[in-house]
């Protein structure tokens, strides 16, 4: 975490991707993919609350989102194990706090001019520069618009899942439930209720298609373009930054991510393509209010 204190604020989105690499690829063998997804969600909630208040603890976060301390502690320890937080005095690197505060200001501007939450169609007409604010809105939606049967733990997991979907789409991968399950190393049926939750909140769209691997019916998961473009730019920035001295560990995690993606693609009879800049959609219009 101490190394992250030195990064400039404009590179925070890139190092969020580094944080997610740490969560996904430094996962201890006794922990599940579900725990990693919850850890991504909790890391963002911690950052969000620290951007609002100076003193935050796991117990206050648990009360804030409707969990018990014991229910959140193991995920907090996971984040500490991979070097992203310190539980004894809960903190994250200060550039992440400053970036979150900027995102929150833009979030309030969007809420003033448009509805909250945005519809899927409205969200896709914003730009990648708005993505940090839109992520904040998505997290707020997941936590505060839960149904009576939706738990805070499920909301945290969906935050992580939404980020993994964006990362996969940012590498020019067609995201399906089967591909997502293969990427996470879990069974596809365990993701069904979470994907449906994201769809119900209009954070993703689902399209039916035929599988190239088996010609069976499968479902493509689409996320608004600003999230994808922002993740793509962030990952490219991260790769450039990790070439600097002192970031060899981060570069190793990026290679692990690329090798894992190659294996998943080949197992699904898909063509592996190295990370590259995505073509931008130049035909977007200002979203309707």
Q: What is the pTM of this model?
A: 0.93
pLDDT of residue 281: 60
Distance CA 76, CA 268 (A): 34
pLDDT of residue 6: 86
Angle, CA of 232, 234 and 236, to the nearest 5°: 70
Q: How many CB atoms lie within 10 A of CB 264?
A: 20
Distance CA 58, CA 87 (A): 7
Distance CA 244, CA 158 (A): 33
Instruction: Give buried/exposed letters for 168-190 (b at 16+ CB in 10 A, else e).
Output: bbbbbbebbbbbbbbbbebebee
Distance CA 221, CA 206 (A): 5
Distance CA 199, CA 165 (A): 13
Q: 180, 191 in Cβ contact below 8 A?
A: yes
pLDDT of residue 283: 44
What does 94-153 look like in DSSP terms, one character per residue?
HHHHHHHHHHHHHHHHHHHHS-SSPPHHHHTTS-GGGHHHHHHHHHHHHHHS--TT--HH
pLDDT tens, per residue, the chain with 289 residues: 567 888 999 999 999 999 999 999 999 999 999 999 999 999 999 999 999 988 889 999 999 999 999 999 999 999 999 999 888 888 888 999 999 999 999 999 999 999 889 999 999 999 999 999 999 999 999 999 998 889 999 999 999 999 999 999 999 888 999 999 999 999 999 999 999 999 999 999 999 876 665 666 788 999 999 999 999 999 999 999 999 998 999 999 999 999 999 999 998 888 888 899 987 664 445 555 5
Radius of gyration for the alpha carbons in the chain, expressed in angstroms and rounded: 18
Torsion of CA 266, 270, 273, 278, to 10 degrees: -150
Give which of 23, 26, 30, 14 is closest to 46, Cα–Cα. 23
Q: 122, 141 in Cβ contact below 8 A?
A: no
pLDDT of residue 212: 63
Distance CA 91, CA 83 (A): 11
Distance CA 227, CA 139 (A): 13
The Cβ-side half-sphere exposure at 55, using a 13 Å CA radius, reads 0
pLDDT of residue 269: 83
Give the list of residues 6+ apart from residue 187 with CB closer than 8 angstroms, or none: 181
């Amino acid at each position: 975490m101490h190394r992250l204190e030195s990064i400039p604020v404009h590179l925070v989105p890139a190092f969020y991707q580094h944080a997610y690499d740490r969560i996904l690829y430094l996962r201890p063998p006794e922990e599940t993919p579900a725990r990693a997804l919850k850890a991504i969600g909790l890391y963002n909630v911690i950052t969000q609350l620290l951007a609002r208040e100076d003193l935050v603890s796991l117990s206050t976060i648990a009360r804030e989102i409707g969990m018990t301390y014991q229910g959140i502690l193991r995920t907090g320890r996971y984040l500490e194990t991979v070097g992203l937080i310190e539980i004894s005095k809960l903190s994250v690197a200060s550039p992440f706090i400053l970036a979150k505060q900027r995102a929150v200001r833009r979030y309030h501007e969007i809420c003033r001019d448009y509805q909250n939450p945005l519809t899927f169609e409205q969200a896709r007409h914003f730009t990648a520069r708005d993505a940090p604010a839109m992520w904040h809105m998505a997290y707020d939606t997941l936590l505060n618009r839960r149904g009576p049967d939706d738990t805070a733990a499920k909301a945290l997991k969906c935050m992580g899942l939404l980020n993994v979907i964006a990362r996969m789409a940012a590498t020019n991968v067609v995201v399906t439930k089967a591909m997502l399950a293969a990427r996470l190393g879990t069974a596809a049926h365990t993701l069904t209720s979470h994907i449906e939750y994201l769809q119900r909140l209009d954070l993703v769209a689902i399209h039916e298609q035929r599988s190239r691997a088996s010609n069976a019916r499968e479902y493509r998961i689409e996320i608004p373009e600003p999230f994808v473009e922002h993740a793509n730019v962030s990952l490219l920035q991260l790769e450039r930054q990790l070439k600097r001295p002192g970031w060899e560990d981060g570069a190793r995690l990026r290679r692990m991510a690329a090798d894992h993606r190659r294996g998943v693609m080949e197992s699904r009879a898909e063509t592996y393509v190295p990370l590259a800049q995505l073509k931008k959609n130049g035909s977007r219009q200002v979203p309707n209010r």
